Amino acid sequence: MSHHVIELNNLSYAYPDGSRALENISLKITHGESVGIVGANGAGKSTLLMLLSGVILPEKNEVRIGEMPITKKTLQHIRKTVGLVFQNPDDQLFMTSVYNDVAFGPRNHGLDESEVEKRVLKALDKLKISHLKDRAPYKLSAGEKRSAAIATVLSMDPDILVLDEPATMLDPKTRRCLIQTLSNFIHTKIIATHDLDMVLEACSRVVLLNKGRLIADGPSEEILSDEVLLDQNGLEPPLSFLNCKVCAHKKANR
């Protein structure tokens, strides 16, 4: 599955107003990895996700999926491979019903209606929102919109799943369902979020950004238990670590 390896080499990006979003980011993500992108507000998380999915293109060097660089010419292929869930679900929901929103991608790729229906129902069931299929998106709660937006990407059956703050506005039960869904996703997943407990459960690797620069890249437990590193970069350890006996033992032996 080398054709799904993601590579960034000294990637940089600046917005039209001149503000620097990313500086010399180099990463390699192999197929099947689960990676959490963390950092304080303004760290460059959302920009990185948009570059990985071709929403924006880098100013210097390139992003490659396997042997294919992400360019205007390759976007059609890239969007069949990479599924992006935007931070704002209203950017993803625009049809008259949840069913039609979730069906939009598969239909746009020319699948027959029986396959479209199969994919839609499967995606809705995974997120436990089958009861919403006939509802108009504008009548949904914020959490329901979030779940529906995620379903629109799952129905595309992407090889690389990219999510920007997927747990925002979800109630505890729906959040738990999402974590379970992500944990069962067998392909590559990349999650940018402030929910470090979700990262700890759903991701084996963490990439820490600060003001557009890569600060740390390594195993989730190692990075998320380093209180000094997190504090230096505007973050706090996951809540699940606060009463962790293992972490307390490590601190006592430092």
Q: Give pLDDT tens digits for 214-237.
A: 999 999 999 999 999 999 999 999
State which residues form the domain around 150.
Answer: 2-252
Residue 144: the pLDDT is 93
Q: What is the mean pLDDT of the chain?
A: 90
Residue 132 corresponds to which tokens in the numbers above? 């919403």
Residue 186: the pLDDT is 85
- The total number of structural domains in the chain stands at 1
**134 vs 79, which has greater pLDDT?**
134
**Beta carbons of 34 and 162 less than 8 angstroms apart:** no
Q: Which residues contact 138 (CB under 8 A, 6 or more apart)?
A: none
Q: Give the global pTM.
A: 0.89
What's the pLDDT tens digit per position in 161-205? 999 999 988 889 889 989 988 888 889 999 999 999 999 999 999
Among residues 104, 100, 106, 108, the alpha carbon closest in space to that of 119 is found at 106
What is the layout of strands, in order, in the sheet containing 188-192? 82-85, 160-164, 188-192, 34-38, 205-210, 213-219
CA distance 159 to 13: 25
Residue 252: the pLDDT is 47
Residue 112 corresponds to which tokens in the numbers above? 């027959």
Residue 3: the pLDDT is 60
Residue 11 corresponds to which tokens in the numbers above? 């990637």
- pLDDT band, residue 1 (cuts 50/70/90): very low
- Residue 19 sits in a domain of what CATH number? 3.40.50.300
**Beta carbons of 238 and 232 less than 8 angstroms apart:** no
Mean pLDDT in residue range 155-164: 94
